[in-house]
Structures are given as C-alpha cells and as structure tokens.
Amino acid sequence: MRKSSFVEGEFYHIYSHSIGNLDLFTSSRDYSRFLSALFAANGKREIYHLDRSRGLNLVSDIRDGKINIGESLVDIIGFCLMPNHFHLILRELSDGNISIFMHRILVSYSKYYNLKYERRGHVFERTFDAKHLHDDEYLMRALAYVNLNPEDLKQWRRKEVKYPWSSFQDYTEENRWGGLLKTKFMLDYFNSSKIELKEFIESARKDEYENLDLN
C-alpha cells in the first residue's frame, strides 16, 4: 500500500496508468466494473469478493440504501475513466483513508481483469499518483481537466459532457450516483448553477493547464 501524507479535509487529484500501455477497459462491462469498485469500496464495511460483484446493479443498491457499506472513507468529487488510465478527485476524510480506498480499488479491478483476460501479473504501472489540490482555483481547474479528458478521444471531442465514463454529466444533468458522488461542494462555487459550471468546464482547455502540474 502506498505510503503518502494525505491531510484530512484536503482534496487530491489521483491518477493511475496501466502497465505497458495495456488497455484497461475494452468493453462497457469493464468500465462498469471499475465504477462498481469505485463506489462499493468507499465504505468502512468492506464488501468481500468485490471482484465477483454484479456491476452497476451493486452501485444502485448502495445508492438506494439496500446495501449498507458504512461510513465513507473519502468524498468522491469527480472521476474519468480512459482506455489506459483513470483520474479521480477525492477528499481525504480521515488519516490513511485514501490509501485504503485506492488499495481496494486497484486490487479488486486487477483481480477482475486478470481473471477475465486470462493473464497474470501487474495491471497498473504503479500504485497511484497524487497531486494535492491546495487551493480553490486548483481544485476547480482539476475538476475541469479531469472531465475534459475524453477530448483526447476523437469521437468524444467537443462532446465530453456526454461521455458515460466520467462525472461531467453528473454535474450538468442528473447525478446518476446520488449521494455517492459529492457534487454539491463544487456546484456551490457556481451558486448551484449547472449551466455556469458546464460553461466553466467547457471553456477550460488543456492549454490553460501548462503551469498547474496536474499530471
């Protein structure tokens, strides 16, 4: 497990890349399976055999209160899954929780991936990387950066808000994940205006991030 200093109450950009440029997600089932791990692993009551879970139906049951996973380890603020890497924006709720949370996700998905694709060995390049989002502007820029990542995929450029494997649409339309994805904190910056937040994200392109050290 990664040893890192995460400060309680602070926000972090978390990201991890596949080993050897391996395709982490080759089907909708793979993306759904990772999202299942993302939300199901965020509780003090660990769900055993998460690698055998029933995909997003599990997340729906947790969201709707049919399954109790206990107190959250972190606040999940945003996410984006790309073919060979992923990005998360998390808030540390208690000392060591981000490390516990990420360990669960990476182990769970690696088990699933190796079993499905009949392979052995590491799936991710290393555990994960983290950038401290040390002020409000940095946090807001990171949220835009993460949700605009699909612009690197030709078929999604300028249509990033419709990309199903990021949190963008959850900020601009209905939040699919309910209380599992904490959108209120960021929406408060825009007086709960989803239109203004959408305009902010879409106006922030990669040329604005050269000096922000988001990767």
Domains and CATH numbers, the chain: 11-206 (3.30.70.1290)
Other C-beta atoms lying within 10 Å of the C-beta of residue 56: 19
Any idea of the CA torsion for 203, 209, 210, 212, to the nearest 10 degrees? 150
Question: pLDDT at position 2, please?
Answer: 47
Question: pLDDT at position 25, please?
Answer: 97
Residues 150-206 have pLDDT tens digits of 999 999 999 999 999 999 999 999 999 999 999 999 999 999 999 999 999 998 875
**Is the pLDDT at 212 greater than 50, yes or no?**
yes
CA 175, 18, 132, 205 dihedral sign is: negative
Q: What whole-number percentage of the chain has pLDDT above 70?
A: 90
Q: Is 118 helix (H, G, I), strand (E, B) or coil?
A: coil
Residues 7-47 have pLDDT tens digits of 999 999 999 999 998 999 999 999 999 999 999 999 998 77
Name which of 65, 75, 9, 72 is nearest 44 in CA terms.
Answer: 72
Residues 93-104 have pLDDT tens digits of 999 999 999 999
pLDDT band at 57 (very low <50, low <70, confident <90, very high): confident
Decide: 32 and 98 in contact? Cβ < 8 Å. Answer: no
**Tokens in use for 109?**
């998905």
How far apart are alpha carbons 152 and 134 in whole angstroms?
26
